[in-house]
Amino acid sequence: MNALELIESFSEFKEFKNIDRETMMNILQDVFRSMLKKKYGNDDHIDVIINPDKGDLEIWINREIVPDGEVEDENLEIALSKAKLIETDFEVGEEVAEEIKIGDFGRRNVLALRQNLISRILELEKDHIYKKYKERIGEIVSGEVYQVWKREILILDDEGNELILPKSEQIPSDYFKKGETIRAVVARVDLRNNTPVIVLSRTAPEFLERLFELEVPEVFDGLITIKKIVREPGERAKVAVESYDDRIDPVGACVGMKGSRIHGIVRELKNENIDVINYTNNDKLFIQRALSPAKITTIELNDETGRAEVYLKPDQVSLAIGKGGHNIKLAGKLTGYEIDVYREGAEDIEDVDLDEFADEIEGWIIDELKAIGLDTAKSVLELSKEELLKRTDLEEETIDEVMGVLKSEFEE
């Protein structure tokens, strides 16, 4: 490898990795001077001239002219007779500058120099990527799916850098194929064996917050503040918003006319239901809004235990709990209270729909009972355990638990 090839390879790296001229010059200087020190002991008397734009590299060694026979160090001194071969009018005491060719260092030294150059380039590249993405934590990035594995997806950004989207950071219904464009938020930047690993997330609350900033100008401009976001990725999310400008309806602005603004976010999140609610410092009112669409009759708070007792009419219980219990769970996370739901006047009810026990009985069990025509609590209790074992695929222990829950509903 000659000097021109070395410079050309570095120029290509500069073009693709956006390395500034000053940094490039410093690296080249360091790499060549490291080789010169090994050969000559020190490099104080050597000039390295690099012009990467033209692909030029010159190395000049400066030696003092001494009388013949008095040369003590050939690296620093040159005999007068040898100097006159370069230029006839040289005299003792003058300095001679003589060019050194890359080929003079030998093949092994040149290969070592090239390896050192590559190593420095890779270090610089890793440092550049680490700093770039460390500053972008919490920001949305997009890239192309390059490889899909069982536990993670490999994504390439527009510079060809590798990004990782683990399975745990994907929405359960996410499905991507190679070549597709994907958006996610930068969750963290790890260092593994001195190599930066950029980890993305589509389940983090920050991803939803950045999407609101993209879709809702008032959020981006700071006219509307997102106070808190809680999510069950792919299922449901609750977003508490506030505006310090009385002229702006924060919920209406976030949703948009006929849902125009929020529809794009919902599609990105694979049809995740998003509840946008007005934030308030009034805990009771905040809990009431968080449990929407259920209509609450009364709320009793216990600040010492951090629990909230919520009383609702029987037909509102299932709405408060929500499918899979997501609504009540997210309302609790959003408000900071452990929410207990109670049916108002439950003792006077002749029968209760099974769906109203969704917070105590798993959904698949309720579905199993419904499949044999049992829609209410009393319809289940009217059958014996043996009959239920025969007609369903439920285990005896499960049936005992279900009957215990249902019986407690009608106990005084």
Q: What is the mean pLDDT of the chain?
A: 84
For the four alpha carbons of 32, 36, 42 and 45, in that order, the dihedral sign comes to negative
CATH code: domain of residue 360: 1.10.150
- pLDDT at residue 89 greater than cutoff 60: yes
Contact between 117 and 12 (Cβ < 8 Å): no
More confident residue, 8 or 71: 71
Residues 7 and 109 in one domain: yes
In-domain check, residue 281: no
Query: What pLDDT score was predicted for residue 11?
Result: 54
Residues 16 and 109 in one domain: yes
Q: Is 281 exposed, middle or buried (0-12, 13-18, 19+ CB in 10 A)?
A: exposed
Residues 97 and 189 in one domain: no
In-domain check, residue 222: no
In-domain check, residue 335: no
Residues 86 and 141 in one domain: no
Q: Is 304 exposed, middle or buried (0-12, 13-18, 19+ CB in 10 A)?
A: exposed
Report the range of poorest mean pLDDT among 20-34, 157-171, 253-267.
Answer: 20-34
CATH code: domain of residue 72: 3.30.1480
Q: Of 160, 175, 203, which marks where a domain is finished? A: 203
Residues 28 and 114 in one domain: yes
The residue segments making up the domain with residue 111 are 3-131
Longest dimension (CA), the chain: 122
Mean pLDDT of 209-225: 95
Residues 140 and 102 in one domain: no
Mean pLDDT of 326-339: 93
Q: With 0.75 as the threshold, say if the pTM is over it.
A: no
Number of domains in the chain: 3
Q: Of 131, 152, 169, which marks where a domain is finished? A: 131
Report the range of poorest mean pLDDT among 21-25, 65-69, 122-126, 217-221.
Answer: 21-25
Contact between 3 and 51 (Cβ < 8 Å): no
Residues 84 and 142 in one domain: no
What digits encode the pLDDT tens for the residues 381-407? 888 888 888 888 888 899 999 888 888
Residues 155 and 117 in one domain: no
Q: Is 181 exposed, middle or buried (0-12, 13-18, 19+ CB in 10 A)?
A: exposed
What digits encode the pLDDT tens for the residues 275-304? 999 999 999 999 999 998 888 989 999 888
The pLDDT confidence band at residue 35, using thresholds 50, 70 and 90, is: confident
Contacts of 91 (CB under 8 A, 6+ apart): 65, 80
Structure tokens at 154: 């490999």
Contact between 59 and 99 (Cβ < 8 Å): yes
- pLDDT at residue 12 greater than cutoff 60: no
What is d(CA 10, CA 371) in angstroms, rounded to the nearest whole number?
A: 71
Residues 168 and 186 in one domain: yes
Q: Is 137 exposed, middle or buried (0-12, 13-18, 19+ CB in 10 A)?
A: middle
What digits encode the pLDDT tens for the residues 340-380? 888 776 544 567 888 888 878 888 898 888 888 788 888 88
In-domain check, residue 394: yes
CATH code: domain of residue 190: 2.40.50.140
Question: Phi, psi (5° rounding) for residue 38?
Answer: -65, -35
Q: Is 84 exposed, middle or buried (0-12, 13-18, 19+ CB in 10 A)?
A: middle
In-domain check, residue 54: yes
Residues 86 and 186 in one domain: no
Q: Which residues of 208-241 are buried (b: 16+ CB within 10 A; e: fewer)?
A: bbbbbbebbebbeeebbebebbbbbbbbbbbbbb
In-domain check, residue 91: yes
- pLDDT at residue 412 greater than cutoff 50: no
Contact between 226 and 206 (Cβ < 8 Å): no
